[in-house]
Amino acid sequence: VMEVVTLQQKNGIALVTLNRPDQHNAINPELAVNLYRTWMKLKEDEGVKVIVVTGNGASFCAGADLGRMITLINGARKPEDDWDRIILEDRSIFNKCLLRDLDLGKPVIAALNGHAIAGGLELVQGTDIRVAAEGIKFGLQEPKWGLFPMGGSTVRIPKQFPYAIAMEILLTGKLYDIGLAHRYGFVNYVVSKDKVLDVALDLAKTISENGSTAVQAIRKSIKECYSLSEKDGMAKETEIAYPVFLHPDAQEGPRAFKEKRNPSWISKL
């Protein structure tokens, strides 16, 4: 049986792969539940410092499987198997698998091997750093189907794109070349498809070699201060930063620098 989500772990880096290539990695109930369970496992695993998420095949993710997921949620289709029943028992799983109402507490890098559309783009919005293949398309087609992109798009897209560009992407439902996303800083790198995973894993390696107590606190501060006023943000930053300086890693880092060696992190908060 083919696993719809695969997980590989090595040297503090986890690689999560969406694996329904023949369906463009569309999120059916089975994939949603397995992706959610994978996120929860990685969130709790202190050995994992950085997560990379990618897709197998021509697409990164085409969003919710309209025939399987949307019909189940709106009642047009009765539950047929355990995956369906799990989704109906806990509807928050779909949002959490898209990283909408779930924060993993550690950096997530999207390696966009192919198109990221609708819910697939919503998953990207929940990641921290993005590497994309040349020539791929992205967009939020929900209004074309009479649907609302409620995986967080109306909140995150206007923060991650300028206002008028965000409005265009959200209201037209058009697909755009990834170059537009790169131009506005929504993706960090656009490289040839065969290099996407290498670039993402190289970024993950660089981050994983840093003190994870510091990395996790810096990321937390960015996310928590993002919508605060400057004054409130500074207060929040102080609150998050202070414990980092009291952590043994904050002594080990400068000591290793002075002794011209790689630091040996404790990295337990």
Give the CA distances from residue 181 to residues 8, 118, 166, 188, in Å, rounded to whole numbers and listed in that order.
28, 15, 11, 9
142 in active site: yes
Phi and psi angles of residue 44, each rounded to the nearest 5 degrees, phi first: -85, -15
Contact status, residue 70 vs residue 29, Cβ threshold 8 Å: no
Q: Are strands 175-177 and 189-191 parallel, antiparallel or unpaired?
A: unpaired
Largest Cα–Cα distance in the chain?
A: 66
Count CB neighbours of 133 within 10 A. Answer: 21
Among candidate residues 30, 80, 89, 122, the one labeled active-site is 122
* Site of tokens 């109306």: 154
Contact status, residue 38 vs residue 5, Cβ threshold 8 Å: yes
Terminal Cα distance for the chain, rounded: 39
- Give me the active site residues, please: 122, 142
